[in-house]
Amino acid sequence: MTGGKDCAVCKIVGVLVGIGALNWGLVGIFGIDVVEKLLGQMTGPSRVVYGLIGIAGLLKLLSLVKCCPCQKGTCETKK
């Protein structure tokens, strides 16, 4: 997250993971599920949001072992 030249995918993934983490934090601390509050419990839209956050989390984890091409030169992976 340095240099400010992340590609669109990296930005979207970062935002979604951030939203997901915040939502889980609110669930844990206050018992408030913002996604559920906004979109309803397990409705179509809320499931899409949960799904997207899950996929973003997966991509984020993958980025720990495999750098996105946009991070070339700044991202170091173990070889």
Q: Which residues are near Zn ion by CB under 5 A?
A: 7, 10, 68, 70
Locus of tokens 């997966």: 58
- Pick the closer one to Zn ion by CB: 39 or 68: 68
How far apart, in whole angstroms, are the C-alpha atoms of residue 33 and residue 26?
Answer: 7
Closest distance of CB 33 from Zn ion, Å: 29
- Pick the closer one to Zn ion by CB: 28 or 76: 76
Nearest to 60 by CA among 4, 2, 5, 12: 12
Closest distance of CB 5 from Zn ion, Å: 9
